[in-house]
Structure 1
């Protein structure tokens, strides 16, 4: 109750600024930047969320996904990983600006909520699990940015978040530092699911949350494990998508 009473007072006394354009704003991302960087229902590949030309309405998959379908079934993203969005992601991961995780979750929720919920592929998941960090990286960073995004997103969508279903079996190299050909080897067999948790995903729709999707290799490996343990469908909820692979 006190929080609800104090928040308007604090907003009137302390200036708030948009994290992108730095103009004064009541929200962490102002309305103009939301319009400029988070367009609703943009035409993307249903599987991997790469941007598609407007003429691809009849074929919702990109050429790569038509040639070889990933283990995941759907990817929903809030925006493209381009400047200045990339600076926001780096600020969350390496400058400990944890308040940005709430903003990322809000933008993801807006995209998910704008989808029609009358088809099987667009229904909400049964549960959400974040991409886990390796032990050494978690110790060094102090938090898992994917979990920080997943918690408010799950609360907004009314979907439970389980951080202990998908586990790392080993520490891996930073994917962004590797050539695309080396990324598959880097994350191969890097995830597992505790047998005691398998009943939670059997025949269920599982959503994986991550901050950035580049080639999709990490998400694909995670989806492969979830499907192996009986998941019926796997969706990716990702804040930012690179527009090159």
Structure 2
């Protein structure tokens, strides 16, 4: 099992110091490596749906960082990808987190409006361009999120492009904080200094 990856307190990586992300922090269960990638891929493409429970169990310790009124929002899939895959891995993880914590989950406040190619292998710049305008809010999003903290759930955090695109919209809807919870986080060489 991979080791838990933790940064104490409010520490920021070099990249985040240079360009502040839109979200308010990332909580990753593990560092992205061969084993964590295999687990993420088996959940996403291998229909090993039980892995969502394992991932949620590893993220559970971060629930203490969340205000009591926080709402879990999974990163959405485009309906065509959801139809072909049959499930959204972020929804499965979010559902397990909600079940274990008693937090509310709102899985359709955000929608993916643009079909995007898989981001795997793209640079940060390519990822930002690809997810630009790929998401939208439901018309009643402000009523659902105004003044509330959000836990945005995704499987892997690579460049932050997806989470920043989602966080921007969630904050536009009135969310007062967006924390990103993910299974694995890619740590760049600049973060290893």
TM-score by length of 2: 0.90
Displacement of 1:178? 2.3
Aligned to 1:87: 38
2:99 to 149, 155, 166: 155
The 3-state SS of whatever aligns with 1:237 is: strand
Q: In the alignment, which residue of structure 2 is the partner of 1:194?
A: 138
8 Å CA contact 1:125–1:207 kept in 2: the answer is no
**Residue from 109, 112, 117 that aligns with 1:165:** 109
Cα distance change of structure 1 residues 93 and 45 upon mapping to structure 2, 3 Å threshold: farther
Greater strand share, 1 or 2?
A: 2
Which residue of structure 2 lines up, in the alignment, with residue 244 of structure 1? 188
Corresponding residue for residue 179 of structure 1: 123
Which position in structure 2 is the counterpart of 1:43? 7
Structure 2 residue 101 is the aligned partner of structure 1 residue 101: no
Q: Is the 8 A contact 2:152 2:179 kept in 1?
A: yes
Q: Does residue 35 of structure 2 align to residue 66 of structure 1? A: no
Return the alpha-carbon distance in structure 2 between the equivalents of residues 109 and 62 of structure 1: 23
Q: 1:191/1:153 Cα in 2 relative to 1: closer, same or farther (>3 Å)?
A: same
Pair 72,106 (structure 1): closer, same or farther in 2 beyond 3 Å: same
1:38: how far off? 3.4
Q: Does 1:229 align with 2:193?
A: no
Aligned-pair CA distance for 1:39:
3.1
In 2, the alpha carbon distance for the partners of 1:86 and 1:176 equals 11
Q: Runs of 4+ in structure 1 displaced over 3 angstroms?
A: 122-125
Where 2:51 maps in the other structure, the secondary structure is helix
State which structure, 1 or 2, has the greater radius of gyration over its C-alpha atoms.
1
| Maintained 8 Å contact 1:38/1:107 | no
- RMSD between aligned alpha carbons? 1.8
The answer as to whether partners of 1:70 and 1:220 remain within 8 angstroms in 2 is: yes
| Partner SS for 1:184 | helix
- For the Cα contact (< 8 Å) 1:208–1:234, is it kept in 2? yes
For residue 180 of structure 2, give the secondary structure of its aligned residue in structure 1. strand
Equivalenced residues, count = 189
Superposed, 1:114-129 pairs within 5 Å as 122-124=66-68, 126-129=70-73
What SS does the corresponding residue of 2:34 show, helix, strand or coil?
coil
